[in-house]
Amino acid sequence: MLGVAKDPLEHTSMYERTEEDSEGSDGEGGMGNVSRVIIRPPGVSGKAKRGQICFDAAFETGNLGKANLVGEFEYDLFLRPDTCNPRFRFWFNFTVDNVKQDQKVIFNFVNISKARNLFNSGLTPLVKSSSRPKWQRLPKKHVFYYRSPYHQNHYVLSFAFSFDKEDDVYQFALAPPYSYSRMQSYLNLIESRQQQGGEKKFTRSLLTKTLQNRNVDLITIDHVVGKVKTNRVERCVIRVIIILCRSHANASPASFMCQGFLEFLLSSHNIAKILRENFVFKIVPMVNPDGVFLGNNRCNLIGQDMNRVWQVATEFSHPEIFAIKNMLKEIDNSDSYQIDFVIDLHAHTSLHGCFMYGNTYEDVYRYERHLVFPRLFAGNAQDYASANMIFNADEKKSGCARRYCCEKLSDTVNAYTLEISMGGHYLKDGKTVALYNEEGYYRCGRNLARTFLQYYRFINVLPAPLPSEVRQKKRRPRTHNSRSRSKNRYEVKPRPKTTRSYAPISYTNLSICYDSGGSSDEGGFSPTRTVAPGSSHFSGYRNYRRVASCTMPCAGTTNQQQQLTHDQFALLRIKSGRFDLAQEPSLHDYGGKSKSQSPEKQTRFELPVNVPPKPYLSIIDLNQLTRGSLRVSSFED
C-alpha cells in the first residue's frame, strides 16, 4: 500500500499527541511551534468557547512560534526562526479553527526578517479550508506590508480575513507546501505505476541518510543504447544531466517544478523518449529533507544553509551535500560518462518570473557556450525574465552548488541555478503580474525538459528533425460532427440593383485663393481674370455675374478688347459643363440670346454652374509671421 502524506488540516502533528490532551489544551509543541494554542481574551479561563481561535503549527512543514491577542479581533503572530539559527524568519504555515461564522480577524506577522520581498509587488498569502482543499490567494486589497512604529519600525505583514464556515479548519501558508511525506508518496506512486506497466523507466536508490535519519533519494533514468561521440575530444562517452532540488526548506515551488520535470521525462511523449534513449538523468528531488520536515525557512537541522557549505561540507555535519559531491566526482572522473549539466532548482522571494544564474569564465569560448542554454530556455518559457538573469563569479556565492561545480569539475560542465518566483510573472504588457499556481510550476519543469532537446540539436549531438517529421497542427477528425448551425444565420443577401448617380459638388465660398499674378513653381503664370471692384476673391457665383455683366458689348469697344476681359477658362466658355476650346469667345446675355451669332448657334446656360476656376499656387514670404502680414501678402501677390 502506498504511503499517503497526511494533510495538516486533519490535525496530525509531527509530535505524537497523547490522549490526555484536551480540546482546551494550549501547550506548545517541540521545536518552538505552537500546538493547539487557544487564544482567550484577558481574564477569561476555562473551556474554550466558539470564537476563541485555536492556532496549530505542530505538523510537518508548519511554522508559527507565538500568537498574541492585541485587540478585539487583531492578533500579532511571531514566526519561529530556523532551528539553531535565529537569522531566518520568513516561511509560515499554520492552521486555525474554533471560529465563529462571519468572524473577522486581522493577522500581523511582526518579526519577518526579509524586508525585501514580493508582498508589495502582488504576492499575497494562500488559504484553504477543510471543505475547500484548493489553495487560493487572498485579495490584494486585504493584504498590507509596511513599517510599523509600534514594532520598532520593523516591516509587518498584515491581512484581514473573514471566516465564513465555523466548522471548517483554515490553513494559511506563504506558498503551496510540498512536504517530505508528499515527496515520498509521489515516488512510491511512480514506482507502483512502473511495476504495473512492466516497462522500467527509472531506478530509485538511496543516496544517503540525513542527520534525523531521513532518506535522500536518487532517481536515475538510464536507457542509453549507444554511446554518443563528442565533438571536443575523440572519445565516446555518455552524457549525464544532474538535477538538484530543495536545498532550501521554503522553496516548495522548486519541488513542484521538479515533479513536472520528472513526470514529463517518464511520460510517453516523443521528446521524453528521445531524451531517455540518448542521455542519463540523475535527479535528487530533495537535498534538505530535515529542514523541509521541520518547517525551516532556509537551513537544515543544525542551522546551516545547504547552498553555502559546498566547499566545507563533511560527512558528519552535511551528509547530503557530501554524498552528492562524491557522486559528481565519480561521474566526472569516469571514462564512460561526461557531465554536461548541473542544474539546482530554487524559489525566489524577491523577483518575479523564472530565470537562471550562471557563471563567468576566463575562456571566452566556454563562456559563450555557457550562454546558449539560458537563451534556448527563454524561448520555451513565456514567463522567463531575462532582466533578472545574472552571470558572475561572486566570492560570497563560492559555497553554492553552481560555483562549486564551475571550479571543481571539468570544463564541459555547465552549472546553473534555475529560480522561479514565489509570486508570479509579468504578462506581455510588462505591468500586469499573473501569480503562479501549482500548474504553473509544473509547466516550468516541462519547459526545462524540452530545452534539453533543443540544446543537443543546436550543438549537433542529436540530428535535427526532417520537415516531414515535424508534428503538424492537430485538426478535428472528419468523423467529428460539428454543431448544427442555422443556415439563415450566415446567409448573405444580394445587394439590390440600383442606378449609380453622382452627388452634385458645389464650389462656392471655398476658402482657396484662385486668382493671383504670382509665378508658379514652374515659372508660369495663371491666366488674368478681371474681378469686379469691391468684390472679394472668394465671391463665387457673384463674381460670375459681375464678370458676365462687365463683358457685355459696349460702344467703342473692339473685338480684341472684349477678348481681354476673360480667358479660355472663364465660365462663359463653358458649354453644358465642359470646356469648348475650339471656338473663339462669344458673348451672351442672360436671356439666352447672342448679339453676335445667329439663333441656331445660340448657347443657353443653366444656373448655377458648379465648376471651379483653374487653381494656382501662391508664394508667400515666410518671414512675415503675423496673421495680418500673411493676409496682405496673399492679396498683393
Give how far Cα 523 sits from Cα of 287, 519, 520, 619, 635, Å.
89, 5, 5, 12, 19
Residue (of 247, 299, 297, 300) closest to 91 by Cα position? 297
> Average of pLDDT values for 125-138?
96
Q: Say whether pLDDT at 6 is over 90.
A: no
Q: Say whether pLDDT at 519 is over 60.
A: no
Top-confidence residue, 20 or 533: 533
Please state whether beta strands 103-109 and 154-163 pair in parallel, antiparallel, or not at all (unpaired). antiparallel
Q: Say whether pLDDT at 48 is over 50.
A: yes
Element (H, E) at 64: none
> Average of pLDDT values for 248-268?
97
Q: Say whether pLDDT at 599 is over 90.
A: no
> Average of pLDDT values for 551-572?
46
Contacts of 288 (CB under 8 A, 6+ apart): 246, 247, 248, 249, 300, 306, 320
Per-residue confidence (pLDDT) for residue 450, from 0 to 100: 96
Q: Which of 41-45, 513-517, 544-548, 607-611 has the highest mean pLDDT?
A: 41-45
Can you tell me the distance from the alpha carbon of 431 to that of 298, in angstroms, rounded to the nearest whole number? Answer: 30
Beta bridge partners of 578: 575
573, with CB counted inside 10 A (0-12, 13-18, 19+), is middle
* Span of 235-249, 349-363, 549-563 with lowest mean pLDDT: 549-563
Q: Say whether pLDDT at 463 is over 80.
A: yes
Beta bridge partners of 77: 67, 109
User: Could you say which of 28, 166, 368, 419 is catalytic?
Assistant: 419
* Span of 78-92, 491-505, 509-523, 622-636 with lowest mean pLDDT: 509-523
Contact present, 337 and 358 (Cβ < 8 Å): no
Q: Say whether pLDDT at 398 is over 50.
A: yes
Q: Please give the model's pTM, rounded to 2 decimal places.
A: 0.71
pLDDT by residue (tens digit) across 574-587? 444 444 444 444 44
Please give, one letter per residue, the 3-state secondary structure of 309-328.
CCCCCCCCCCHHHHHHHHHH
pLDDT by residue (tens digit) across 472-513? 555 656 555 555 554 455 555 666 666 655 555 544 444 444
Can you tell me the distance from the alpha carbon of 241 to that of 229, in angstroms, rounded to the nearest whole number? Answer: 16
Instruction: Write the DSSP symbol of residue 572.
Output: G
Q: Say whether pLDDT at 16 is over 90.
A: no
Active site residue 23: no
Residue (of 417, 402, 245, 214) closest to 311 by Cα position? 402
pLDDT class of 32 with cuts at 50, 70, 90: confident
523: left (phi over 0), alpha (psi -120 to 50) or beta: left
Q: Say whether pLDDT at 227 is over 60.
A: no
Per-residue confidence (pLDDT) for residue 226, from 0 to 100: 60
The residue written with cell numbers 531506478 in the block is 203
Q: Say whether pLDDT at 454 is over 90.
A: yes
Q: What angle do CA 317, 318, 323 make, to 5 degrees?
A: 135
Per-residue confidence (pLDDT) for residue 504, from 0 to 100: 55
The residue type found at 468 is S
Beta bridge partners of 156: 146
Contacts of 10 (CB under 8 A, 6+ apart): none
Instruction: Write the DSSP symbol of residue 301.
Output: T
Q: Say whether pLDDT at 408 is over 90.
A: yes
* Span of 227-241, 333-347, 471-485 with lowest mean pLDDT: 471-485
Give how far Cα 534 sits from Cα of 136, 180, 281, 514, 567, Å.
84, 102, 99, 17, 21
Per-residue confidence (pLDDT) for residue 514, from 0 to 100: 42
Domains of the chain, CATH where assigned: 37-173 (2.60.40.3120), 180-459 (3.40.630.10)
% of the chain beyond a pLDDT of 90: 61
Give how far Cα 439 sits from Cα of 256, 364, 511, Å.
8, 38, 67
